[in-house]
Amino acid sequence: MNENNTGLMKEIMERLKNRRVELDISYQELADKTGLSKSTLQRYETGSIKNMPLDKLEIVANALKVDPAFLMGWEEIKSQKSKGVKIPVLGKVAAGVPIEAVEDIIDYEEITEELAKTGDFFCLEISGDSMSPRMVEKDVVVVKKQETIESGEIAVVMVNGSDATVKKVAIHENGLSLISINPAYPPKFFTSDEVKTLPVGIIGKVVELRGKF
């Protein structure tokens, strides 16, 4: 038996013993409930038997009034994977107001702990149809806060004191363009001077889209 299987069997043994003690069930009582011999159950619990067949595991789990997944440790793994970090969904972002100070929080979304460790995030609800059909009204984008992006990436951009807008950004030597996916909206080009004076600022990079129905 390899180390992984040995570790798994040890966990099963510990969970089995802890649950039996918790219910105050003796080996003989467990034997009566499962149809397995008292000595076999003892060997399972002490590790003398290095492998418990799945059919026997299910019988023992039922007698102990738990799901087989509990004895296997699967429920704990599932719980660990499901842990997430809640981040706010903003209806709009006003110019010059730090994200942390925005009070127009309309909902919350959850991202993984792994993603949350890579930076600061917020969500923004899509308004209008300039990014359709990829993004439509009421969809939510997950945004990583950052002031620079690569050309061609989709970002949340603040322009001239208006609310934040979600656009594909093309960076040129003499300025940048904000590009809508919907062809009904032509690209908007801003010179390098306009980027500084209006200003045109990147708030964050869109890293995920969550469709709403």
pTM, entire model: 0.60
What pLDDT sits at residue 77? 45
- Give 146-191 pLDDT, tens digit per residue: 999 999 999 999 998 777 899 999 999 999 999 999 999 999 999 9
pLDDT, average across residues 184-211: 94
Q: Is 48 an active-site residue? A: no
- Give 8-65 pLDDT, tens digit per residue: 567 778 888 888 888 898 999 999 999 999 998 888 888 777 677 777 888 888 888 8
- Give 53-101 pLDDT, tens digit per residue: 777 888 888 888 887 777 776 655 444 455 678 899 988 776 666 676 6
Residue from 144, 167, 168, 205 carrying the catalytic annotation: 167
CB 13 within 8 A of CB 45: yes
Domains of the chain: 3-81 (1.10.260.40), 84-210 (2.10.109.10)
Residue from 38, 127, 130, 188 carrying the catalytic annotation: 130
Q: Which residue has the tokens 């809508």?
A: 180
In 3D, which of 76, 115, 52, 99 has the Cα closest to residue 202?
A: 99
Q: Is 162 an active-site residue? A: no
User: How far separated are the first and last CA of the chain, in Å rounded?
Assistant: 50
